[in-house]
């Protein structure tokens, strides 16, 4: 990526972005043609430059789902760097970004269950209900991920949501070792989670 563009992304300089585009209108297209790339969106996500990120996502939406050399999308990076305003902005522009699979086939939904943010998890489920069907490289559902990481509050949100939308069968999906989320809860001694499976 052009160093001036990288600097503009790091500093959130939207005017500099448009100045670069005026001189080179195909700049973002060329970045988009690279299969794995650190894009201006990735740089802005790390730097917490929400407005810059939103401008780029508006100009070239496909960059928002591109993975960088670390196997992460801009949304994954925004979550890692706790840029929640950017996270909400990106999913507002395209809720399918919640289903982008990063390294380990970890989606942003899985990541939110790992870091135990039940409010954001509920927002993701509301914005993109189909994301509940995504599994990791180990065939783990988001329920498995929540239990494995001891995210009891996220687990409770997931069970409640699955019951409301009548998709409780997801609780019976098995990981690559043949374990359902209940097996994982019992084997890891998560008695509170185990109890929730049987609570009305």
Instruction: Give pLDDT tens digits for 151-170.
Output: 989 999 999 999 999 999 99
Contact (CB, 8 A) for 102 and 71: yes
pTM of the entire predicted model: 0.90
pLDDT at 198: 45
- Looking at the chain, the domain(s) classified CATH 1.25.40.20 span 1-93, 104-200
Cα 58 off chain centre by:
18
The CA distance from 35 to 122, in Å, is 31
**Alpha helix stretches (DSSP H) within 60-190:** 74-80, 84-93, 108-114, 118-127, 142-148, 152-164, 181-187
Given CATH 1.10.286.10, say whether it is the number of domain 104-200.
no
pLDDT at 193: 52
Query: Which of helix, strand or coil describes residue 190?
Result: coil
**Domain 1-93 top-level CATH class:** mainly alpha
Q: Is 68 left (phi over 0), alpha (psi -120 to 50) or beta?
A: beta
Q: Is the pLDDT of residue 192 over 60?
A: no
Contact (CB, 8 A) for 61 and 96: no
């Amino acid at each position: 990526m052009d160093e001036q563009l990288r600097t503009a992304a790091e500093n959130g300089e939207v005017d500099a972005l448009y100045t670069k585009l005026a001189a080179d209108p195909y700049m973002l297209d060329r970045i988009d043609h690279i299969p794995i790339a650190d894009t201006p969106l990735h740089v802005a996500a790390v730097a917490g430059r929400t407005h810059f990120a939103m401008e780029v996502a508006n100009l070239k939406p496909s960059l928002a789902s591109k993975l960088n050399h670390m196997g992460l999308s801009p949304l994954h990076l925004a979550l890692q760097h706790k840029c929640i305003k950017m996270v909400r902005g990106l999913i507002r522009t395209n809720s399918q970004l919640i289903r982008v699979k990063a390294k380990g086939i970890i989606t942003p939904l899985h990541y939110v269950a790992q870091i135990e943010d039940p409010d954001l998890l509920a927002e993701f489920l509301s914005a993109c209900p189909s994301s509940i069907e995504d599994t990791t490289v180990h065939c783990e559902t988001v329920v498995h991920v929540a239990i494995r990481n001891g995210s009891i509050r996220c687990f409770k949100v997931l069970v409640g949501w699955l019951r409301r939308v009548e998709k409780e069968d997801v609780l019976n999906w098995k990981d690559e070792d043949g374990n359902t989320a209940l097996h994982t809860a019992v084997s890891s001694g998560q008695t509170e989670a185990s109890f929730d499976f049987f609570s009305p």
